[in-house]
Each structure stands twice: as C-alpha cells, then as structure tokens.
Homo-oligomer: A and B are copies of this chain.
Amino acid sequence: MRNRPTPAPFSLRSQRSKAFHRGVRPAFAESAERDFAQVRTGGADLEAMKTLTEYLKFHAKTHRAYIHITPQVEQIVRKSGVKEGMVLVSAMHITAGVYVNDNETGLIEDIDQWLEHLAPFRKDYKHHQTGEDNGDSHLKALLIHHEVIVPITEGKLDLGTWQRIFYAEFDGQRDKRVIVKVMGE
C-alpha cells in the first residue's frame, strides 16, 4: 500500500469509493450505481443464547466424493430450537472441504474435474517426503475451503432456492468427521 494516500474518515472514504466506481467501465459502474435495493425483515430482538454441537461421520468408498448434507444440517438446526442465528459446518480434516452450491450431478462432475485441473495429483509434492501421497488433497481442500456458515432465520436454514451444503472428500476410504455447531437464540 506504500504508494497510496492514507484514506480520509469513513464518510469521505465512501465518497472516494463512488468516485472510483465512476471510473470503472460500465460492467461494474451500472451495477454499482443503479441495480441496488434493500429489503428489511425481522427486528433486533434481545434473547438468551443457545448452542448445539453435533458431528457427522463419513467413510467414503471412493478416494474423492461429494456428499449432500443439507437434510442432516437442517435436522440438527431443528433439534437445536434456534430461531435466529448461524450454523457452522466445518470439516475436521485437512484433506476435505465443505461448500455450498448446486445439487446437480453434471455440475458435481465439472467441479471434480476442475479441482483436479487446478490442484492435480503429482508424485513430486514436497509433502510426500513425509510418506504421504495426498498433497493434491490438501490443495483441493484449500481451494474449495473447509467450512461454511449458514444463516438460520425463523428456525430454518436461510438458503437460496438452489443452495445446498456439500461435504467434499479428497482423501476418502477412511473415517472422517464434520462438526455442525448451531449458535443463536
């Protein structure tokens, strides 16, 4: 950042941001200036906090697998009794991930091939000097990310129409776990 001025206080900074946007080509500018609306729901309520923690267990039959877990997460949220809050869904391993996207077979295969393309299996990862052979599994997990936070509104997962939660296994055929922690009121 060394070549840029220290920003002015926030109100001015947000004007600066607008100025930046005016300079952006239409692709960005139109969206930023025109296509914006805001809808309010609910209100700020004072409540006591609740938590519930459960663990999902997996043992994939294959080296890589993509497992739809929205129904299991939804069931845990229902059990928690939390009406407003968030649920953390996080792989407890360094060769697995959790992501939110479409539950569509073709896309899942596209994702698998794309991950293999960007984080390919190779014999010569330095990590393999430890005796491991799963360097690519670590990189795939970093790319897809190991955790998501899903909002809970009126006691339900507040997901978009097509959003589904997936466990992504990149080094399967062994026992793995995902922690599901519900926190809210």
Contacts and interface: CB of A to CB of B under 8 A. Distances in A.
Contact of A93 (B21, B86, B163): B163
B55 A36 contact: no
A31 to B, nearest CB: 4
Interface string A1-39: 111101100100010010011011111101110111111
28 contacts: A3-B130, A17-B71, A20-B103, A20-B104, A21-B103, A24-B105, A31-B169, A32-B65, A35-B67, A36-B67, A38-B54, A44-B81, A45-B51, A46-B48, A46-B49, A51-B185, A53-B158, A86-B88, A90-B149, A93-B163, A94-B162, A106-B127, A110-B125, A110-B138, A114-B139, A143-B143, A151-B181, A183-B183
Interface of A: 1-4, 6-7, 10, 14, 17, 20-21, 23-28, 30-32, 34-62, 64-68, 70-72, 74, 79-82, 84-86, 88, 90-94, 99-112, 114, 118-119, 125-132, 135, 138-139, 141-151, 153, 158-164, 169, 172, 174, 177, 179, 181-185
